[in-house]
């Protein structure tokens, strides 16, 4: 089976983890601090706080902004449930926006439709490695949390994704851009927010009894992440090389290929094509031993029983994510291309 996604790990990662094991310091320590500094530098932040998952990062970002019951947070419907869950954790109200039909990112015009006097934040995922219209969104005057789980290393008008919002969050799950197994991080230019998040992520030895969490990252994970972060340019380079092969071979077959505005540098976390025969392609891939997948399992408005969201619905019925990750071999790329070409014909 050609996996839909998988981590790209090598001996350097194994050596880093072995070094930490040998040190005897495996919980949160200096490796975490080093990882935080490296990522903050990469995205132009003043500081960063590592946590146990991307969902934990979203949760603590909302808490740092003191968002809670009675507040509204705008998010796109075409995204994973982590955003919805994080908003529910703080008892705020999620307000769903439709997406742009070309980029799969949240549509600025629909964010404007969603704004009320109760709106306290907008969470903006840069979907599939293509930065959203972040300048237009920040210009609305609402605090923006950038969700960079799929976009680490991408750029918008020459600046890195994650450098525009009040806070930016990252995920290092096994199949994300870089991998720590599980893990996440929050970055910001305002160190007061980062210090608040560092307090919230650990409940032990506090002077007061306020609500806090066990959301720490371990030195084992951080050592792995630091190596992956150093390898990021090569990992992204391989993704882009595979995307070029897909572009060149699939364009002639009338498929709708990924769209990225010219002022952005995508990283191709996902390579999403569109077809009216989505179900047939998913089944054909399974039969052929190739894991094609929906890029979003189910839009959020369907979980909430809401109608509308025409561009999100169209994406749900037509979008297919085909394998793209640095360890995907050229032989596998050719196998995938041959299968899609045969399917279309």
Mean pLDDT within 214-238: 98
pLDDT at residue 252 is higher than 90: no
pLDDT at residue 104 is higher than 90: yes
Percentage of the residues of the chain whose pLDDT score is greater than 90? 97
Mean pLDDT within 26-41: 97
Mean pLDDT within 283-303: 98
Please report the beta strands in the chain, taking only residues with DSSP state E, as ranges in sequence order: 47-51, 72-76, 93-97, 119-125, 144-147, 155-156, 159-160, 167-171, 184-188, 264-265, 271-274, 319-322
At the topology level of CATH, where does 11-230 sit? 3.40.640
pLDDT at residue 256 is higher than 90: no
- The pLDDT of residue 205: 87
Report yes or no on whether pTM surpasses 0.95. yes
Catalytic site includes residue 176: yes
Q: How sure is the predictor about 37, in pLDDT bands with cuts at 50, 70 and 90?
A: very high
At the topology level of CATH, where does 232-344 sit? 3.90.1150
pLDDT at residue 77 is higher than 90: yes
Cβ count within 10 A of residue 213: 16
- The pLDDT of residue 253: 86
- The pLDDT of residue 278: 96
Mean pLDDT within 140-157: 98
Instruction: Kindly give, in sequence order, each residue whose CB lies less than 8 Å from that of residue 319, ignoring residues fewer than 6 positions away.
Output: 104, 272, 273, 274, 278, 294, 295, 296
User: What residue ranges of the chain are covered by domains with CATH 3.90.1150.10?
Assistant: 232-344
Residue 185's beta-bridge partner residues?
50, 170
Mean pLDDT within 57-81: 98
User: What residue ranges of the chain are covered by domains with CATH 3.40.640.10?
Assistant: 11-230
pLDDT at residue 316 is higher than 90: yes
pLDDT at residue 255 is higher than 90: no
The DSSP code for 216 is P
Find the catalytic residue in 176, 189, 298, 314. 176
Q: Are strands 167-171 and 184-188 parallel, antiparallel or unpaired?
A: antiparallel
């Amino acid at each position: 089976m050609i996996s839909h996604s998988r981590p790209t790990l090598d001996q350097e990662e194994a050596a880093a983890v072995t070094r930490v094991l040998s040190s005897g310091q495996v919980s949160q320590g200096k490796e975490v601090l080093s990882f935080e500094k490296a990522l903050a530098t990469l995205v132009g932040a003043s500081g960063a706080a590592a946590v146990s998952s991307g969902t934990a990062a979203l949760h603590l970002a909302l808490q740092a902004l003191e968002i809670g019951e009675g507040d509204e947070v705008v998010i796109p419907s075409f995204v994973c449930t982590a955003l919805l869950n994080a908003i529910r954790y703080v008892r705020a109200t999620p307000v769903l926006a439709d997406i742009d039909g070309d980029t799969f990112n949240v549509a600025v015009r629909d964010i404007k439709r969603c704004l009320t006097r109760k709106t306290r934040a907008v969470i903006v995922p840069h979907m599939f490695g293509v930065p959203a219209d972040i300048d237009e969104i920040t210009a609305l005057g609402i605090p923006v949390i950038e969700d960079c789980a799929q976009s680490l290393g991408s750029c918008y008008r020459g600046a890195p994704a994650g450098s525009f919002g009040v806070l930016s969050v990252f995920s290092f799950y096994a199949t994300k851009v870089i991998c720590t197994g599980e893990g996440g991080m929050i970055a910001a230019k305002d160190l007061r927010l980062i210090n608040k998040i560092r307090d919230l992520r650990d409940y032990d030895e506090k002077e007061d009894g306020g609500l806090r969490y066990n959301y720490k990252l371990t030195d084992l994970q951080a050592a792995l992440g630091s190596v992956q972060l150093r390898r990021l340019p090569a990992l992204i380079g391989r993704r882009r090389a595979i995307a070029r092969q897909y572009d060149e071979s699939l364009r002639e077959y009338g498929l709708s290929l990924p769209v990225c505005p010219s002022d952005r540098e995508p990283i191709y976390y996902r390579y999403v094509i569109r077809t009216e025969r989505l179900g047939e392609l998913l089944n054909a891939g399974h039969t052929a031993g190739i894991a094609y997948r929906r890029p979003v399992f189910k839009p959020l408005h369907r979980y909430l029983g809401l109608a509308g969201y025409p561009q999100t619905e169209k994406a749900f019925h037509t979008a297919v994510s085909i394998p793209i990750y640095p360890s995907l071999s050229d032989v596998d790329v050719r196998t995938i291309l041959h299968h899609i070409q045969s399917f279309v014909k």
